[in-house]
Amino acid sequence: MSSLRTEERLDLLRDLSRMGSQGRAESEDAGRLARTFHPVPEHLRMLDPDVVIVVGPRGSGKTEIFRALADANLLDALAREARVGRLPPGDHTQWVKAYPLGRDGFDAGGLRRFLDGHCREPHAMQELWFAYLVRLLRDHLGEDVRSTLGELLGAPAGAPGQVHSAFRAANEAPLLALDELDVRLERDESYLYVAYDELDVLGGADWDAMASGIMGLVAFWATYARRWRRIRPKVFLRTDLFDRFAVSGGADLAKLAAGRVDLSWSDRQLYAMLLRRMANTSVRLAGYVRGARSVVEWREDPALGLLPSLTRWTHARPIIERMVGPYMGANKKKGLSYRWPLAHVRDGRSRAVPRPLVRLFEEAARIEVDNPNAVRGMRILAPTSLRKAIDRVSREHVDHARDEWQWIDALKSHLGGLLVPADRRNVEHLLEDCGSWEPGPPFDDPRDLLDYCVDVGILRQRPDDRIDASDLFLFGLGLKRKGGVRKR
């Protein structure tokens, strides 16, 4: 069996440590997305003009798929991978971001003030989304139409109350403007996709404001998605928000929900994504991955680079074993290496998504570069490096969770040091003052908050009702558990 020289191993590790951008799609360079974004045909059904809602848990790729289409102009390349009927070519399709808009949109404080002032008007939030859509599409409107809508287009974006008042004062003009635009797009055989992302930060720490905003947005498009055939919405929603806010609103909402795309990841898709990341990072890493005796088939797309094909997730086994060895210790009692990564990046709902898996191997590579282990042959990672890496990934995962769950630091401070599995009543007791946390969680009753944490995968409830946590959240929340693979 051949063996890597020390410098060869270090070069491969350095490449492996640079697979992504700290695991965050929003920081991924647009020029690299073509070689890192993994096209899953089931996910790409969202390209169908009739699909409005795209649902997925944290880290499932909602932002990355949006950026691949809007920033990297990969529509034509991804259309080749999609299991969708005939799609318009890229030069007849434009993607625009409708939320977040930065200085061209409202902020959480402005939204709360608007909702306080219109709490008795059930359609006010729908009208507000309509108003900001017209403002977003101003450059697609004729000069005469923009003149007619001058007050609406000129209102300060950061003052949603003024924008809304101007919208109402314009009467039917906003509707006629978008009707005319839709007709022109149809005549030109073009599409305009309007995408809404990061809606989990819509109300800041105000759960009620976020709920009202999401329900208003979905209700708005439930009304107008059938009216406009070429102005097509894409609403990216975190799974728990969809389950809570987007499914109660009548027959029109039910139709939107029925046609949604769920960004769930099978083990086969996850390993295909990981291998693709590796192979497109560098020529030498591609050679190393493809040099394993596996049945993984590879093809090269002119835009997307190397694409692996796995019939089963176990087909990645020879590649993982080439990197780590067959076991997570001296023998199989410590775990099989090809099973270990997927098992340890799952949340409390047993869901695994790309971001933590990529970060696991990146961090393990960094650990090896800084403190090389005595690995031999063609291996580049020691099992102990992967075990140390999962703690780093967990800490980072919880840190990044503040973007969506601003109260998670308070949760961590109350649960830190807890040995899990723990009796549910004990955990509820630790959370009993959650109603006074600042920023506050969505529920002020400890039982409801605990149920929510289980529902979104932060924690896990065992069949005997004891509360546990997956490794993805364990270290980041400061929880403890006996046993595991030796770290040193």
Global confidence as pTM: 0.90
Region 347-351: mean pLDDT is 96
Host domain of residue 120: 41-262
Q: Are residues 193 and 254 in the same domain?
A: yes
Residue 258: pLDDT band with limits 50, 70, 90: confident
CA neighbours closer than 13 Å in the CB half-sphere of residue 402 = 11
Nearest to 449 by CA among 432, 463, 467: 432
Q: Are residues 112 and 242 in the same domain?
A: yes
Q: Give the mean pLDDT of the chain.
A: 91
Q: Are residues 291 and 207 in the same domain?
A: no
Q: Are residues 246 and 277 in the same domain?
A: no
Taking 3-state DSSP, the helix, strand and coil percentages for the chain, each rounded to the nearest 5, stand at 50, 10, 40
Last residue of a domain, one of 370, 397, 424: 397
Rg (alpha carbons) of the chain, rounded to whole number: 24
Q: Are residues 150 and 56 in the same domain?
A: yes
Question: Using CA atoms in the order 133, 86, 52, 406, what is the torsion angle rounded to 10 degrees?
Answer: -90
Q: Are residues 252 and 374 in the same domain?
A: no
Residue 9: pLDDT band with limits 50, 70, 90: very high
DSSP state of 372: -
Q: Are residues 273 and 258 in the same domain?
A: no
Distance CA 273, CA 276 (A): 5
Q: Are residues 174 and 51 in the same domain?
A: yes
Model confidence at 231: pLDDT above 80? yes
- The answer to whether residue 31 sits within a structural domain is no
* 138 three-class SS: helix
Tell me the CA end-to-end span of the chain in Å, nearest whole number: 27
Q: How many residues does the chain have?
A: 488
pLDDT in tens, 416-426: 999 999 999 99
Distance CA 46, CA 68 (A): 13
Last residue of a domain, one of 208, 228, 262: 262
- The answer to whether residue 437 sits within a structural domain is yes
- The answer to whether residue 136 sits within a structural domain is yes
Beta bridge partner(s), residue 297: 309
Q: Are residues 217 and 311 in the same domain?
A: no
| Total domains, the chain | 3
Model confidence at 250: pLDDT above 70? no
Beta bridge partner(s), residue 301: 305
Region 104-109: mean pLDDT is 94
Q: What is the pLDDT of residue 73?
A: 80
- The answer to whether residue 482 sits within a structural domain is no
Q: What percent of the chain has pLDDT over 90?
A: 72
- The answer to whether residue 35 sits within a structural domain is no
pLDDT in tens, 32-53: 889 999 999 999 999 899 999 9
Model confidence at 206: pLDDT above 90? no
Q: Are residues 157 and 14 in the same domain?
A: no
Last residue of a domain, one of 397, 429, 462: 397
- The answer to whether residue 1 sits within a structural domain is no
Which tokens go with 447? 């039982």
Distance CA 22, CA 400 (A): 11
Nearest to 202 by CA among 267, 106, 137, 74: 106
Q: Are residues 13 and 45 in the same domain?
A: no
Q: Are residues 117 and 254 in the same domain?
A: yes
Region 75-101: mean pLDDT is 83
Q: What is the pLDDT of residue 483?
A: 64
Q: What is the pLDDT of residue 310?
A: 96
pLDDT in tens, 314-347: 999 999 999 999 999 888 888 999 999 999 999 9
- The answer to whether residue 229 sits within a structural domain is yes
- The answer to whether residue 479 sits within a structural domain is no
